[in-house]
Structure 1
Amino acid sequence: MAQERKTNRMRLLHGQSARIAPVVGGPLGQPDPPEWLPPVGQEEWERVTEACATHPTWLQHGDVAILTAYCATWAIWLEAAQDVARRGALVPGRSSADAAGGEDGPRLVKNPAVQIARDAAAQLRALCRELGFSPDARRRVDVGDLDQDNDADRLLT
């Protein structure tokens, strides 16, 4: 089993040098989302950039493309998941054979939104890992110092 990576603070406490993550264009801050993103994608952009603003070095300007892909995929997943919640995993078939069905009525087929939601969820997991949005990913990435003063931070730096 691989040994867990230490955060820079823990490395410094143990007398080791800190790992310096490359800065790609400087901190992202809280820019406006791309106008073409669907409204739910824009809301997710705002939520993520606001949450990451407490760690000014977390998102860099070089991360805009992957953040945009994450927000666009989020919008696709949400729409598909809402469709499955509204119509169910099985929907009446659209072909004439499905419509004729049998004595139980029209034949039910798998809702195409189920596959769309599954594909988008897999892509979201990969994008979340890249951006450090999961607990496991945050352990592996040094997201920088908090942008606020507290006693624990002062003790560890």
Structure 2
Amino acid sequence: MLATSDLDVLLSHADSQQETVIRAAARAAGLLWLCRNTACRRDNPRSARTCGSCGCGKNGKPVGDIFPSPYGASPRRWRALRKAITQWCTEHNRPLPDGVTFAYWGDRDEDCGWAAAAPSFHYGGQQVAAPELACDEAVSEALNGLNHHSAPSYGGDMRIAVHR
């Protein structure tokens, strides 16, 4: 299996014509995906959930919500989380992110739910860890409100778009 770093080395030794062929083959093999945002059209590694350049998802649209359960919580609960994140950013003089991903790697026996998840802010194509967000009381309360209908499972992600 060709790793992304091996692909980078291969591309660094290719001329423009060879690079076009290599990128097309890598996309066909699933090693790369092309951002569908027409203003971007940049190749991204298979493991990337968002474009490293513009921050859009694989569908070419801005960061959106990823609900961990098809039955999800009510829209009121999602609005409460958006509001808590926005207030936290304002109070801490942090720029408002495009979205926030909560990655859950905790033990289900702890019964902490999403409050134990590791948050990351999305700013365009950049993803920045924000562990201090999970310590906020209003954010934790909003996350706990989601546990009943959208309880996390090990390795699960939940993403909420903040700019709406």
TM-score by length of 1: 0.25
Which structure has the highest strand share of the two?
2
Higher helix share: 1
Q: Which has the higher contact order (CA 8 A, sep 6+)?
A: 1
Larger radius of gyration: 1
TM-score for both structures, normalised by structure 2: 0.25
